[in-house]
Structure formats: C-alpha cells, structure tokens
A = this chain, B = another copy of it.
Amino acid sequence: MKPNLQPWGSDLLELYSEIWKRLTFGILDRHAPARHPTLATATAEGRPKARTVVLRAADKVAGTLDIHTDLRSAKVGELRATPFAALHVWDPLAHLQLRIEAQVTLLAGQDAAEMWKAVPAASRLSYGSSPAPGEPIPQALDYTKAADAGSFVVLRLRVDTLEALYLGQNHCRARFDRSDAWTGTWLAP
C-alpha cells in the first residue's frame, strides 16, 4: 500500500522547509493558521498558561519568531520568571500540527523602537489600554484604548526545537533541533 503522505511529508529536509514556509504564511496572510498560534508559558509556580497570539515575524536563518504584546500582560510576568515558551500551530486543512519550543527575550523601550515605528497606527491602540489587560471591570466595554510605546514589547522566540506531526491517514512525526543543526529525526507518532 502506498503511504498516504503529503509530498513534503516523507523527506526531512523538505519537511523542515515546509514548516518555515507555513510559519512565514502566518506573517503574510491573516487567514493562515500560523497567523494565530497558541503561546504556552509557565508561571513561577510551574503552572501552564496558554493564549492565542499573532505571529509578527519569522526568520528561518536565525531561527526566531516575533510576537508583540502589552508589557503589562500576565504572559510578560510569566516569561520574566521562566523565559521558555511553547508555540503551537494547528492547521486543520493540512492535518498538520507544529510544536515549537523556544527561549524568549523581551525587547522593550529602545530595543523595540524600530519595530514600534513599523506598527500601523490602528494596531498601536492594542498597546496601552486602560485599565491594564486582565484587570476586572464593571461592564464588558469599560475600558479605553490608547497607543503607548512604553507598553509595547516584542517577545523574540529563539527556537530550540521544532516538531511536526502530520495527522493524515498515516501519521508521521519529525523533530528538528537547533543543537543538531536542524537535521531532524523521525519519531514514532
């Protein structure tokens, strides 16, 4: 029986390229699955947290991914305590799951000034709302938006491992490590 794999699903090098292609789609196309990954962090007490984020940059050569957020959001506090994140993309049409593990650096103030300049005016209103994200409010819309460069932070994820799990007729799973120069290995799914 011929294995029912995607063309890129049977060769590690092609699969690695396909993963970064799909991550890059997330930057270019607001409807691509990689546009809205799930970012998992851990609290200082070691408890997992997860939320949707927007992928803002993907650099295959450096192996980095960028996310923008409000400096006052809970995830920033969590990343200060534990600077590791898992980023997760589920592509339902491709039946493909991407699991990324990374070390996270927070870039704010002068370190984020150039990136802040590139944020469209309307989008800047996402950084600096009042009260701060997560604060209780009496009614659903009892908050105001404001653009505040001082509330803007870039989460730069330096990818350590990248895992792909293809959940078609025949599942297949591969893992790529920075420490192994991304050569990759197949894993039992």
A interface vs B, CB < 8 Å?
3, 5, 9-10, 31, 36, 38, 40-42, 46-52, 82, 84-88, 90, 92, 97, 99, 101, 129-143, 165, 167, 170, 172-174, 185-189
- Which of B46, B129, B141, B173 contacts A172, CB < 8 Å? B141
Given known pairs A5-B140, A140-B10, the reply for A48 and B38 (CB within 8 Å) is no
> Closest CB-CB distance, A63 to chain B, in whole Å?
18
A187→B134 contact, CB < 8 A: yes
Contacts A42-B48, A52-B167 supplied; 11 other A-B pairs, CB < 8 Å: A3-B141, A36-B92, A38-B50, A38-B90, A40-B86, A42-B47, A48-B49, A49-B101, A51-B99, A134-B188, A135-B187
> What chain B residues lie within 8 Å of A137 (beta carbons)?
186-188
> What chain B residues lie within 8 Å of A140 (beta carbons)?
3, 5, 9-10, 170, 172, 174, 186
Query: How many identical chains are in the complex?
Result: 2
> Closest CB-CB distance, A66 to chain B, in whole Å?
18
A136→B50 contact, CB < 8 A: no
List 14 A-B pairs, Cβ < 8 Å: A42-B42, A46-B82, A48-B84, A48-B85, A49-B99, A49-B101, A50-B87, A52-B88, A129-B189, A132-B188, A135-B187, A140-B170, A140-B174, A141-B170
B10→A188 contact, CB < 8 A: no
> Nearest CB to that of A72 among chain B residues?
B188
Q: Give A101 to B52 CA distance when docked, in angstroms.
A: 15
B48→A86 contact, CB < 8 A: yes
